[in-house]
Structure 1
Amino acid sequence: MEFDFPLRKIIHVDMDAFYASVEQHDNPDLKGKPVAVGGGSKRGVVSAASYEARKFGVRSAMSSYIAQRNCPDLIFVKPRFDRYKEVSQQVRAVFFEYTDLVEPLSLDEAYLDVTKNKTGNPSATLIAQEIRQKILAKTGLTASAGISINKFIAKVASDYNKPNGQKTVNPEEVLAFLEDLEIRKFYGVGKVTAEKMYKLGIFTGKDLKQKSLEFLDANFGKSGSYYYNVVRGIHLSEVKPHRIPKSVGAERTFRENLSSEIFMLERLEHIAIELERRLLKSKIAGKTITLKIKYSDFTLQTRSKTLPYFIADKELILETAKELLYQDNLENSVRLLGISLANLNTDKKKTEKAVETKQLSVQLKFDF
């Protein structure tokens, strides 16, 4: 069997319950106990949960009230992002011992392309083991890893043996692995999409593979071709060391629900000021402004407007945000407001690389 695209050796490293694990490491009294990083007040939100807390259904982005209800013994710890960044830098330093092709997704996870690496080790599986051992030795924290021919499969594989484990999907195993995969485990298939796929009789990768490109395009729009390709092991995205942000934003959750636009204007001004600070720091401007509104019942609404010119000034951002706020009536009282800027001046047009199939055909004799 041959793949008509270049096979790479990609590792996806994901720290295990990162924020909570840092807190448990720094405070031994928390080890073995259900810990949530975030605000413990009624209006708080869980940023991360330890594995002990996850057994009770506590998850990130869950309201602290619900988390406490699910797990009465839950211990809340205030986040220390400076500390998390410090540990993250130690972890990344380990990555760079092996390759410069490191694409961080967040403080706690990254893709590594080790097709050609600094150690000369031909086995991505052994490299992943070494990386995890070094991370443990330097930070006292565990990490999990997925190893395969592209970013998509490596990302999915990293979840398989969590925590403190890894999984390799060799080239000859890729198609069978994807066919057996539950559809909700496909990276990029969220809860809403999964429910839609269930209604269409798609429960596994094998079910997805039986659907035509036309069928998937008709039912999932632009995502149709993505689903069609990834279930066949086709995901050509390269590891990009310098990821260009698609948007920049800022948001605030309020202690008390706001029920009138008038009360929201002051909050929007503070959000616009913070957004301007982030834009100036990154030397970025954008054209599309999006107002994010989360209501007291946790439903989410976004309103957007695209301007004919790039902006980064708080006054212009606030002016457009106000316009979007008054665009429609509010559906309920509001617990969160956010403003983001997209269509940035960093965007580059995607170019397709035309490469002869003869050059791309790679035999499955690929040492992992």
Structure 2
Amino acid sequence: MKVSVIGTTGYGGIELLRILHNHPIFQIQSIHSSRGESPIWTEYPHLFDINKQKLEKIDPEKIAMNADLVFFATPSGVSSELAAAFADYDVKVVDLSGDLRLKNQEDYKKWYKQEPAPQSLLDKAVYGLSEWNRENIENAEWISNPGCYSTASLLGLAPIVKENWVVPTSIVIDAKSGTSGAGRKPSRMHMMAEMTENFKIYKVNEHQHIPEIEQQLVDWNKDIKPITFSTHLLPISRGIMATIYVQLGKEKKLTEIHELYQHYYEKAPFVRVRPIGNDPAIKEVAGSNYCDIGIHLDERTGRLTIVSVIDNLMKGAAGQAVQNANIMNGLDEKTGIDFIPMYP
């Protein structure tokens, strides 16, 4: 199956190339960027003599005529325009940006500060949280890949939210990410001198993944109220840890909650529910498509702590995008992404 990648010079795009290089079914037909035509290895020298393809201009008609599947790995605000250009062509699309995630156009304007995609495209795009929307993904032509923070948070919350075991107003998510989550564009905030031996909070109560998380939580449980969500930068390149606090609405034992998580994820090959008392760490999922989840119950307060870790460039972006593409094309979801995490 021929695939094209648009937005190849960003971290999500280059991670896609790493995965697709050894994918047994998806073959890279073309790679595209708005930066002009040059060999990809000049942008990423680690690809020298491995990938000899040249970056090409973005020509929607030409791309659609020569590819079966297109990945958009472009910044938010770009994908919506591209999506409109591809809407009339018979080609499957997986969008890694946030442009097709929010179904309400006014929400997109508020949180992304940009003009939204046409409502027809928003309605057409299936939210690609692989473990929880499989049936719709299997029949989809367009996939909106979830955000990195959203993936870690939603996978951690799903079982207890769907079972209505939480107090609807009590969800607090304290999330931390490596600097690659902000993309490759240079900024003072991400300079080595600024981030080494440092730890920063950012976008307090303003992060664009807030409405995305709330949209899905309410879809699972209409009683869920607005969440408290904070994001921090870690002095590491990649990885996310979401530490989630919820008040239980019903008295439960930790073993009962743990069994619930095991039941919900027993057929999810990339979600590992850790044994009670065993906490996941970012390094233990690095370079892989795994989401590792640990849970703790404070019996004094009735508060549950959920720890969810992912690699933001894999399960939080390119890995999940390929997982979704596998599902929508009738392949085993593990095809081409069944990597053991890197360690150390």
So what's the TM-score if we normalise by structure 2?
Answer: 0.26
> As a proportion of its length, which structure holds more helix?
1
So what's the TM-score if we normalise by structure 1?
Answer: 0.25
Structure whose CA Rg is larger: 1
